[in-house]
Amino acid sequence: MSDSNETSDSAEFRKSLEDIAFNFRSNVDIKDRKYRLKTYKQCFVGSEGVDYLLETGHAQTREDAVMLGRSLAHEFHLFEHVTRDHEFADDYKFYRFVDASERGTLTMDEKIGKYVRWSDFLAPVASGEALQPAFAAKSENLELIESKDQHVIGQVWPLDKYNTQLLDNVHPPSWQDPKAHNEKDGTYSYDMVVVGGGTGGLITAAGSAGVGARVAMIEEHMLGGDCLNVGCVPSKALIHSANLAHTLRGDMEHLADAGISLDPSAVKVDFEKAMERVRRIRAGISHHDSAERYSKELGVQIFLGRGKFTSERTVEVNGKTLTFKRAVIATGGYPNLLPIEGLKSLHDKATAIDSGEPRPIVMTNETIFNLTKRPQNMLVIGAGVIGMELAQAMQRLGSKVKVMGRSGRVLPKEDADLAQVVKDQMIKDGVEFRLDVSEYLRIEMTGEVLDNGYPEMKLAVMEKGNDEVVEFKFDALLLAAGRRPNVTGMDLEAAKVDYDVKKGLLVSDKLQTTNPRIFGVGDCCSEFKFTHAADFMARAVIRNALFLGKEKMSNLLIPYATFTSPEIASVGLYESDLKKKGMEFRVFEKHFKDNDRAICDGKTAGMVRFRVDAKSDRILGASIVGEGAGNMISEVTLAMQSDTGMTALAAVIHPYPTTAEAVRQSGDLYSKTRLTTTVKSLLRGIISLQR
Ligand SMILES: Cc1cc2nc3c(=O)[nH]c(=O)nc-3n(C[C@H](O)[C@H](O)[C@H](O)COP(=O)(O)OP(=O)(O)OC[C@H]3O[C@@H](n4cnc5c(N)ncnc54)[C@H](O)[C@@H]3O)c2cc1C
């Protein structure tokens, strides 16, 4: 058959499908139906749809009718199950017709001879249930001592040319609200309103506008959110300077071993310059998230102000009411202040920019990147990801750092022995750990002012196994004791969106809140508080909110990395998760002390650890600690996401010598376990036959 015949046949087939679709909708019995005390509005019953297709002769058997019904549902997105949990079936299940406005206009793509809609251009986010670890919200103390309404947002400081450039991009001082859609009555109406302009909000807004929706984004502080302004970007820029300083000054043993001699006193850390570099780098990339780019290039209307819900379909900002068909809340989180006597007042004093006297340096991640002078003795409360990364960086830049915690260990999410590798290196760097605090009693200023101009403070604590109060003096305090979701101060009650002040928005697996029009994205509703998690949640939500998609949070396989030196990264389930789930598994490890590249580089601390199903080669989880772990974990994530097992990994050729070879070598370790005595003697037999 020629191509042109095929095209005309398929066009005819499509035409007849279109006719059936049209008649189907007009002839099945659509009405409100009840099931288990719940009423489903205007729907039809699956088996009645099958009856209709048989009676009209469109299908010869009930099986054919089901196939035909599914084609109508998939090809035209004509109808769907009322809770989107089932395919079309010959059953007492309810289906509702989908309005054109909900699914996007269908357009014939002549090239492929198929009807397409907006959602077809969005890459699917993920499929199949992912192996996600149970992330208990680990925090020093989750007592709520302030809510978002009282929280003083850290200001950007100093106002040099870099921070001015940053603000011009992410919070332009003279920004004007967009004009009302209906200038007569001053009303605004949108397909999508996004509250919060961090990673989650930015991706949601850009993606929604990109597929044709009318979108507004509301940001009360700085576009780019935590990641750009007070999170990933400045912390990684700071870590870069710290690691350079460490290689040149702190790691003399390593340099000497490599045949390089350097007078330690010749290496000077100019802390002011290092911080200026942080500000320059942040400002330099801030145009990606700028108000100008989002409004002019991406077609998103930007409002700079706090968003507050006024009803289930409206949100207010700067005195204007925006009506939405769908809304996404992506309001992120903020650092947890501990209920230590004296802390809140010192923190608020430290955050007030205009005070003339020497101010106490009590910081969170919102203010640490404002530092210009190096603290001498810095106390870090919290031994999680943020505390550990910044403690090591500040120590390597010349402060004397002490890390305090209550859990007896560092990086509580990670396997204890792997986290210990990081802690050992930090001890070598000079960081001191006090991880057995039983109670933080009070914090106050001593009245002394140090050479760097910072006033001295002291913290009194009780430690486990010691009846006496212990006091520590310091000139800077970093609070890295957990984070809280931003869910207060925006009148979620008016929108009928339920939340928990500790866990955040209560969302379904499809990220829908208790108001079906409103979805949640990112740190405000997830235990996976990472930029890449917020990014992929946003992608899922665009499909779910605008195209009746079925993307599920539980399908996202989310890796994570801590950028200490050495780095530590994990994906999938930990040993503790596997034990809790009663899953049998085996562990395969390849240590970097046996990896040629790591030996050549003199960086032999760490290992690759795989957790593998006991009865197959399926990877259930993996952790890597060592240089470059954050990059290496992606190969394992790809393997897990594509169901590539240990056998296939063993067959992937890796360039020699690389640390990534440890991944393949772990595959080899697995393959060796398959060489049982019986298999070995069988192989010996085959070889002997060849003589
Ligand atoms: C020091 C530090 C280092 C980090 N490093 C990494 C890293 O290396 N890799 C990584 O993956 N993750 C890292 N993270 C985590 C990452 O920054 C967050 O997971 C990510 O920013 C979450 O994005 P989000 O959109 O959910 O929230 P956010 O980025 O917090 O954005 C929320 C936005 O909503 C705004 N907002 C809140 N309420 C309202 C309201 N009512 N009206 C209007 N606007 C509102 C806020 O001002 C904010 O801009 C780090 C975090 C910190 C603190």
pLDDT(352) > 70: no
Q: Which helix (H) or strand (E) holds 383?
A: none
DSSP states of 247-262: IIIITHHHHHHTT---
Q: What are phi and psi of 201, to 5 degrees?
A: -70, -40
Give the mutation target among 148, 150, 531 for probing the ligand 1 site: most ligand atoms within 8 A of CB.
531
474 has pLDDT over 50: yes
- Of all protein residues, the one whose alpha carbon is nearest to atom 26 of ligand 1 is 522
Q: Please report which helix (H) or strand (E) contains residue 187, including its range.
A: none
- Statement: residue 550 has pLDDT above 90: no
Q: Among all chains, which residue has been given the structure tokens 């009405």? A: 31
The neighbouring-strand residues paired with 474 are: 457
Could you tell me which of 242, 276, 456 has the C-alpha nearest to residue 370?
276
Q: Give the mutation target among 232, 511, 541 for probing the ligand 1 site: most ligand atoms within 8 A of CB.
A: 232
Residue 102: its pLDDT value, please? Answer: 57
The more confident residue out of 673 and 639 is: 639
Residues 617 and 645: their CA atoms lie apart, in Å, by 5
- Residue 4 confidence (pLDDT): 46
Out of 219, 226, 518, 535, give the residue to mutate to test ligand 1, the one with the largest number of ligand atoms within 8 Å of its CB: 226
Query: Which residues are CB-contacts of 214 (< 8 A; sequence separation ≥ 6)?
Result: 189, 190, 191, 192
Can you give 424-454 as a three-state secondary structure string? HHHHHHCCEEECCEEEEEEEEEEEEECCCCC
Share of the chain above pLDDT 90, in %: 68
Q: Out of 133-147, 586-600, 643-657, pick the least confident.
A: 133-147
* pLDDT average, residue stretch 66-71: 84
Q: Helix (H, G, I), strand (E, B), or coil: what is residue 649? A: helix
More confident residue, 103 or 406: 406
Q: Determine the distance separating the centroid of ligand 1 and the alpha carbon of 332, expressed in angstroms.
A: 5
Q: Is 206 strand, coil or helix?
A: helix
Separation of 227 CA from ligand 1 center, angstroms? 5
| Between 355 and 550, residue with greater pLDDT | 550
Measured from the CA of 236, which atom of ligand 1 is nearest?
8
**Ligand 1 site-directed mutation target among 149, 227, 486, 501, most atoms within 8 Å of CB:** 227
Strand stretches in 68-200, DSSP E: 79-81, 94-97, 107-109, 114-116, 188-195
Residue bearing tokens 């809304």: 327
> Quick check: 214 pLDDT over 50?
yes
Res 147: pLDDT: 60
What is the rounded average pLDDT of the residues 100-129?
Answer: 59
- Give the model's confidence band at 453: pLDDT under 50 very low, under 70 low, under 90 confident, else very high: confident
**Nearest of 610, 528, 550, 431 to residue 135 by alpha carbon:** 528
Whose CA is closest to atom 7 on ligand 1? 232
Q: What is the pTM of this model?
A: 0.83
Which residues form the pocket of ligand 1, taking CB atoms under 6 Å from any ligand atom? 195-201, 218-222, 225-227, 231-232, 235, 306-307, 330-333, 365, 386, 486, 490, 522-523, 529-532, 534, 563
Give residue-wise pLDDT tens across range 237-290.
999 999 999 988 877 788 888 898 888 788 899 999 999 999 999 999 999 999
Closest atom of ligand 1 to 523 CA is 26
Distance, CA of 585 to CA of 455 (rounded, Å): 54
What secondary structure, in 3-state letters, does 297-315 show?
HCCEEEEECCCEECCCCEE
- CA-nearest of 45, 56, 46, 47 to 22 is 56
Q: How far is the CA of 198 from the centre of ligand 1 (A)?
A: 5
Least confident stretch, 31-35, 150-154, 653-657: 150-154
pLDDT of 11 over the 80 cut: no
Q: Give the contacts of 470 (CB within 8 A, at least 6 positions apart).
A: 460, 461, 462, 463
Distance of CA 71 to the CA centre of its chain: 36
Distance (Å) from CA 486 to ligand 1 centroid: 10
3-state class of 197 per DSSP? coil
At residue 141, the pLDDT reads 46
The residue nearest atom 51 of ligand 1, judged by CA position, is 231
- Which residue's C-alpha comes closest to atom 52 of ligand 1? 231
Gap between the Cα atoms of 338 and 145, Å rounded: 7
Adjacency order of strands within the sheet including 619-626: 560-562, 567-572, 619-626, 607-613, 585-591
Q: Spell out where 405-533 has E strands.
A: 432-434, 437-449, 455-463, 470-474, 476-479, 483-485, 499-500, 504-505, 518-520
Residues 434 and 382: their CA atoms lie apart, in Å, by 10
What are the b/e assignments for 616-654, b being 16+ CB within 10 Å? ebebbbbbbbbbbbbebbebbbebbbeebbbeebbeeee
- Model confidence band, residue 106 (pLDDT cutoffs 50, 70, 90): low
The closest residue, in CA terms, to atom 38 on ligand 1 is 331
Per-residue pLDDT, 24 = 86
Distance CA 680, CA 669 (A): 16
- Ligand 1 centroid to Cα of residue 566, in Å, is 25
Q: How many CB atoms lie within 10 A of CB 307?
A: 25
3 versus 677: which is more confidently predicted?
677
CA of 231 to the centre of ligand 1 (A): 7
Q: Specify the pairing of strand 333-335 against strand 320-329.
A: unpaired
Please give the distance, rounded to the nearest whole angstrom, from the Cα atom of residue 581 to the centre of ligand 1: 31
Query: Regarding predicted confidence, which is higher, 567 or 98?
Result: 567
